[in-house]
Structure 1
Amino acid sequence: MENSKSNSLEWVKAVVVAVVVAFSIRYFLFAPIVVDGQSMMPTLEHSDRMIVNKIGYAISEPKRFDIIVFHAPGGKDYIKRIIGLPGDHIEYKNDQLFVNGEAIAEPYLDELKAFYSNDFVTRDFDLAQTIGSQIIPDDHLFVLGDNRHNSLDSRDIGVVHKDEVIGKANVVFWPFVNIGIVE
């Protein structure tokens, strides 16, 4: 009888430890997210399931073109691509990104540019028009969805404070046909 109680107690301990470890991993390190909408197409599709790396930006800084998840106004989490970093001047002219006056390629938009062959993927704008400043403020990021015709992003909601960033999202784990790392 004593042996049975000891085995039961060991099982309970193992389950409790497993739950604590799983909770810690999900809360502090990695979390799943479901892509909601078409703002990141064709890079990400509606209902893609991804892993968000929550710890990466604790040990490194966000980089231009990282795909991030952040808390947006209205209590919703958005997934977008970082286009501008603190201190950057961003503008688009004739469907071309300029960062601090230098033309920057956006190869992840090639498929969309082919689809919209007679139209711009990104309409002309500069920071002064969208955020009321010539440069991105300290501790803020300028983000855009890849599907620029159908994206609620920094052109609409303004810059994103780094404290609102949940993490980097670059691993799709479902559906099976889309499994992989996205850039």
Structure 2
Amino acid sequence: MNASETELVDRRDDEIGSGARAFVDWIVVVAVALTVAFLVRGFLLAHFVVEGSSMDTTLTTGDRVFVNKLSYRLHDPNRGDVVVLHQINGATERDLIKRVVALPGETIEMTNCEVRVTEAGATESRVLSEPYLDRDVISATCGGDFDAVSVPADHVFVMGDNRSGSQDSRNLGPIAESDLVGRAFVVFWPRSDWRWL
């Protein structure tokens, strides 16, 4: 084998070696990307598709929202947060999207479509200001009045923005904070509905 043949063989070995290295590099990149995607999806961020009219007109069927799953590991829920929660009925489980209207230690009631909240330690209730409600959607019944309900520790009271068309804490009772998947913070699809929540 002469010198030029030796160079040709060495060059071919280098090409095979660099091709194998490039293949391994791509495998590593794909594996890292999948791992990051799994971790983000599993622990930080999720997306949900809205079904039903319980949050009209804030959210409508087909809206897609991003949900911060880490939010309530870092801080407590706040009044007005739009949250996704687990609901378990017998053998079925599904996620619901509602709004937090009362916090742990508070008392909540509704009369003539007015939601009144007595904050923890307060002696008098106050009418809850709810600028997110669409008055054209809220009917005269608002789903019916309800008597005062005390929200236990580590629970929240949630309601849909379409009060007459929502299954919420009025039926389900206060929701354990451990059943909150996270806080919905943006509508990202369809593009025409994009907005912060």
TM-score where L is the length of structure 2: 0.84
| Distance across 2 between alignment mates of 1:166 and 1:58 | 10
Deviation at 1:42, TM superposition (A): 0.5
Deviation at 1:170, TM superposition (A): 2.1
SS at match of 1:5: helix
Instruction: Check the 8 A contact 1:73/1:157 in 2, yes or no.
Output: no
Which residue does the alignment assign to 1:130? none
Q: Does residue 121 of the first structure (1) align with residue 121 of the second (2)?
A: no
Which residue does the alignment assign to 1:178? 193
| Distance across 2 between alignment mates of 1:107 and 1:180 | 16
5 Å-filtered alignment, 1:41-80, equals 41-74=56-89, 75-80=93-98
| Distance across 1 between alignment mates of 2:147 and 2:80 | 18
Q: Which of these two proteins has the greater Rg computed from alpha carbons? A: 2
Which residue does the alignment assign to 1:141? 156
Structure 1: tracts of 5 or more residues without a match = 128-133
Amino-acid identity (%)? 40
Residue of 103, 109, 112 corresponding to 1:85? 103
Q: Does residue 95 of the first structure (1) align with residue 98 of the second (2)?
A: no
Moved over 3 A (4+): 114-117
Residue of 111, 132, 142 corresponding to 1:108? 132
Answer 1 or 2: higher relative contact order, Cα 8 Å, separation at least 6: 1
TM-score where L is the length of structure 1: 0.90
Structure 2: tracts of 5 or more residues without a match = 1-15, 119-124
| Distance across 1 between alignment mates of 2:167 and 2:114 | 20
Report how many aligned residue pairs link the two structures: 173
Which residue does the alignment assign to 1:12? 27
Deviation at 1:36, TM superposition (A): 1.1
Q: Which deviations, in whole Å up to 9, do the C-alpha atoms of 1:126-164 show, x marking residues without a partner? A: 23xxxxxx4111111111011111111111111110111
Deviation at 1:56, TM superposition (A): 1.2
